[in-house]
Amino acid sequence: MALDYQPVYLLASGMLLQERKLGVTTANLSNADTYGFKKDLLVAGAWYVDNGVRVNNTSPENPSNNFVYPLVRSISTDMSQGPLIQTNNKLDIAIEGEGFFTVTDGTNLFYTRKGNFKVDRDSYLVNDLGYRVLTEDGRYIRVVEDFNIDKEGYIYNNGEIVGRLAVVVLDNPVKVGRGMFTGNPVGRANYRLWQGFVEGSNVDPVKEMINIIETSRAHEVYTRLIQSFDLIQSRVSRGLRA
């Protein structure tokens, strides 16, 4: 008589789900102090088999051989506003409202809420990776000593308007790391800019710590259930051989 494998794979899938949740949560927590960071959210679900029946001689890892199978449906990004932090640095720009700054590595366009900018050796405004910040007409921004940006994004050098920052709304932004996103710009954003401020992370460290504790405990429960099931199956197997 074959032993019943289904509970092991169902419980193991629950363990894997908790591990994925733990990975997302720890990544959020590690970026709690990263300017412009947007936390990720894991959406879990269950795969059901209608009138679930055992299919003989097929892999038990296949969800179709189990009655219900927990899984990760998606990992999405929470784009809610982070707190504005005053730095009094004229190169720091925070977005209040929607939209992204536009930057380029010289070939590709990227979008970011991370506004702790710097000046490169050619006096152009760049992000922390050295990607140049763009105006709405696609030009680089040269910075002089008397440099200011107003709340509508207009750039002033020595009191003269030289352009306007490209702050755009993205359709389905995709996180690509280091505070940057890709996506399809669909128009100007509804925003105000604050010079001398940066946007903080939208991660709540206390909530993320609670999530880590809950996830770790859930993982322990799955582990103990598997150990208990293995013990029962071992006893059954010994009884069948006796």
- Give the tens place of pLDDT for each residue, 8-35: 777 888 888 899 999 999 999 999 999 9
pLDDT tens for residues 164-194?
999 999 998 999 999 999 999 998 889 999 9
Q: Give domain limits for the chain.
A: 6-80+203-241, 84-199
The sign of the torsion formed by the CA atoms of 193, 197, 198, 202 equals: negative
Residues sharing a CB contact under 8 Å with residue 102, sequence separation 6 or more, in sequence order: 109, 110, 111, 133, 134, 166, 167, 168, 185
CA 205 to each of CA 39, 70, 96, 202: distance values in angstroms, whole numbers, following the listed order: 11, 27, 22, 9
pTM of the predicted model over 0.85:
no
Q: What is the rounded distance in angstroms from the CA atom of residue 10 to the CA atom of residue 3?
A: 15
Which tokens in the block code for residue 19? 């591990």
CB 77 within 8 A of CB 114: no
Residue count (the chain): 242
Looking at residue 28, what is its pLDDT? 97
Looking at residue 240, what is its pLDDT? 61
Q: What angle do CA 144, 149, 154 make, to 5 degrees?
A: 110
Q: What is the rounded distance in angstroms from the CA atom of residue 206 to the CA atom of residue 131?
A: 33
Looking at residue 101, what is its pLDDT? 97
Which tokens in the block code for residue 5? 């494998």
Concatenate the DSSP letters of all residues of the chain into one string.
Answer: -----HHHHHHHHHHHHHHHHHHHHHHHHHTTTSTT---EEEEEEEEE-TT----TTS-TTSGGGSSEEEEEEEEEE--PPPPEEE---TTBEEEEES-EEEEESSSSEEEES--B-EE-TTSBEE-TTSPEEBBTTS-B-B--SSEEE-TT-EEEETTEEEEEB-EEEEEEEEEEETTEEEEEEEEE--EEEEETEEE-----HHHHHHHHHHHHHHHHHHHHHHHHHHHHHHHHHHHHH-
Strand order through the sheet with 154-157: 147-149, 154-157, 160-164
Query: Which residues of the chain are modeled with pLDDT < 70?
Result: 1-5, 47-69, 239-242
Q: What is the rounded distance in angstroms from the CA atom of residue 178 to the CA atom of residue 36?
A: 10
CB 181 within 8 A of CB 82: no
